[in-house]
């Protein structure tokens, strides 16, 4: 197994443990879960913090959700494509939030020395790629849409990831509800008072 493959395997094994234990997870627990010796971890990671940073980077990696979006069949009805996209994006955010929250709650600092931080364009590039993937999902229905697919993708992302969060314990709208509102609005029938 190559060094990169071993790193990826260890990170994949560690992610659920980080979600459960945060930074308190031990390298011996990780090694047991991965079926490797503890020393193997330190052959591919400098230290435990290096492994935790790799887990954080993996949790935030948009490639997984972009693959999920790309796998949605373009011949499915628009409603189905958007519901699948909403569910994939929400799952991605939930995974990120779980790992970040567990690390933060256990006192782990996300920062690295300035030279090791990802480039500032990383988040913007991720959002741009996500926007482009959504636009591609909407594009087949361009002829029946009142707005450009790019605009609809922006509105859709804004609806999925609002700055306002419902009160604690209150469930937000489902993926089906969000897609219904996006495609049909909130008025019950044409001509109804808004």
Q: Where are the alpha helices (DSSP H) in 26-77?
A: 27-34, 38-44, 48-60, 63-70
Please answer whether residues 87 and 175 qualify as being in contact, where contact means their C-beta atoms are separated by less than 8 angstroms: yes
Mean pLDDT of 14-19: 94
Predicted pLDDT at 119: 39
Q: What is the pLDDT of residues 94-152, one digit of tens each?
A: 888 889 889 888 877 654 433 344 434 467 888 899 999 999 999 999 999 999 999 99
Q: Domain 62-194: which topology?
A: Tetracycline Repressor; domain 2 (1.10.357)
Please answer whether residues 10 and 33 qualify as being in contact, where contact means their C-beta atoms are separated by less than 8 angstroms: no
Q: How far is the CA of 96 from the CAs of 60, 64, 138, 146, in angstroms? A: 6, 12, 25, 34
Predicted pLDDT at 107: 79
Architecture of the domain spanning 1-60: Orthogonal Bundle (1.10)
pLDDT above 60 for 91: yes
Domain with CATH 1.10.357 in the chain: 62-194
Instruction: Return mean pLDDT, the chain.
Output: 86
pTM greater than the 0.85 cutoff: no
Domain with CATH 1.10.10 in the chain: 1-60
């Amino acid at each position: 197994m190559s060094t990169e493959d071993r790193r990826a395997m260890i990170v994949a094994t560690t992610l659920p443990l980080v979600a459960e234990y945060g930074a308190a997870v031990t390298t011996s627990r990780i090694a047991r879960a991965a079926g490797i010796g503890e020393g193997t971890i330190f052959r591919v990671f400098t230290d435990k913090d290096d492994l935790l940073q790799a887990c954080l980077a993996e949790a935030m990696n948009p490639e997984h959700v972009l693959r999920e979006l790309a796998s949605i069949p373009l011949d499915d009805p628009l409603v189905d494509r958007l519901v699948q996209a909403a569910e994939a994006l929400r799952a991605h955010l939930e995974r990120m939030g779980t790992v970040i929250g567990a690390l933060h709650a256990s006192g782990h600092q996300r920062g690295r020395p300035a030279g090791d931080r990802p480039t500032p364009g990383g988040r913007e590039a991720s959002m741009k790629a996500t926007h482009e993937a959504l636009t591609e999902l909407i594009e087949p229905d361009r002829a029946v849409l009142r707005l450009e697919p790019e605009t609809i993708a922006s509105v859709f992302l804004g609806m999925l990831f609002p700055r306002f969060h419902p009160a604690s314990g209150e469930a937000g709208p489902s993926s089906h509800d969000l897609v219904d509102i996006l495609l049909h609005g909130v008025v019950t029938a044409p001509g109804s008072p808004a």
